[in-house]
Amino acid sequence: MQKKCIITGATGYIGSHVLKYLLGKEWDIHVVADPKFGFSNIEDVLPRIDVFEYDGNISRLCDYFKRIKPDIVFHLAAAVITNYTPEQVPMLIQSNVQFGTEILEAMKMSGTRLFVGTGSYWQNYNNEDYNPVDLYAATKEAFEKILKYYTEAEGIRAITLRLYDVYGTEDKRPKLWNIIKQKAGTDEELKLSAGEQLLDMVFISDVCAAYEQAYNLLCTDCEIINNVYGVYTNRRKSLKEIVEIYRTMLNRPVIISYGGKPYKNREVMKPTDKLEILPGWQAKVPLESGLKKVAGGGKLNVDYSSAVIFGSLKIAA
């Protein structure tokens, strides 16, 4: 019997790859999306999926869930804003707390009881059980607290995947490797921190497999009610080491000044290792192989007007 899911955040980088990964496994896929963000990441597969354009009317959302009756919801929608302004606080709350709660309410009304959510290792600053790096991480934790109510009171069973440093090909986000590729072969200097912070990088295909494995776990282990797992390799390298590996793969000179920028406030120098890695999952793409794939891709149309995020590193555009 064909498996059926609803995906939120499917128009973003990670969500679009999860969508295409599951399409390759013959899933029946339905997407809840806000049309103002566009569909460029999934326009090639739009004829193969069903899209519900959500305008904030929760009654319509509940009716949609009742009609579709998905086996599971993969919730990846989020506003990732690290250097936020006061005006952006409502967007963080609406996207990361309110919208997820509306999805859970629609699940409750439709009888859907399996849920895979998305968290961040930035919820665990200084390797603590909970210490948010920033407001974004705090909103992710806030939603997990709301999720607990629905698992305790409404019979929803959930797994939250706390993602680490996700990277891969076709990434249009303003990430450091795109900055480096942009400057390769030019005389422009790129100023970075000293680069001592450790990163745990997971290739996008391995992240997609983690979402599928989370579904499998929920189906096979009824003891899982509301579990949190990490999606990471436990093979950390410093930012400087990673940049140097990537730089050699570009085959073009890049002028980099380490220490040219200070570490940011609340810099994550070492990702938490307290989270249990998702059972039955492991990363298959070695860092060097993944970086080679990224380096080999063509230039992307990247928007550098916003903050650049690479693990815990930020660079002003």
The pLDDT tens digits of the residues spanning 193-231 come to: 999 999 999 999 999 999 999 999 999 999 999 999 999
Helix, strand, or coil (residue 109): helix
> Which pLDDT tens digit goes with each residue over 233-268?
999 999 999 999 999 999 899 999 999 999 999 999
Residue 303's pLDDT band, with cuts at 50, 70 and 90, is: very low
pLDDT above 70 coverage of the chain, percent = 94
Q: Which burial class, exposed, middle or buried, applies to 26 when counting CB atoms under 10 A from its CB (0-12, 13-18, 19+)? A: exposed
Alpha carbon distance 202, 210 (integer Å): 11
The answer to whether the beta carbons of residues 72 and 218 sit under 8 Å apart is: yes
Task: Given CATH 3.40.190, say whether it is the number of domain 169-199+235-267+284-315.
Answer: no
pLDDT of 317 above 80:
no
Residues 124-145: tens digit of each pLDDT: 999 999 999 999 999 999 999 9
Contact 288, 246 (CB under 8 A): no
Query: How many Cα atoms are found within 13 Å in the side-chain-facing hemisphere of 244?
Result: 10
> Do 317 and 182 contact (CB within 8 A), yes or no?
no
CATH number belonging to domain 4-165+202-231: 3.40.50.720
pLDDT in the model for residue 205:
98
SS3 content of the chain, % helix, strand, coil (to 5): 40, 20, 40
pLDDT at 315 over 50: no
Lowest mean per-residue pLDDT among 157-166, 273-282, 303-312: 303-312
Q: Which of 183, 272, 288 is nearest to 234 (CA)?
A: 272
Q: Where are the chain's structural domains? A: 4-165+202-231, 169-199+235-267+284-315
Rounded to whole angstroms, how far apart are CA atoms 9 and 116?
A: 12
Other Cβ atoms less than 10 A from the Cβ of 304: the count is 12
By DSSP bridging, strand 201-203 and strand 50-53 are unpaired
C-beta of residue 232 within 8 angstroms of C-beta of residue 202: yes
Mean pLDDT of the chain: 92
Containing 148, the helix (H) or strand (E) segment is helix 135-153
pLDDT in tens, 53-62: 999 999 999 9
| Phi, psi angles (nearest 5°) of residue 62 | -65, -40
For 283: left if phi > 0, alpha if psi spans -120 to 50, otherwise beta; the answer is beta
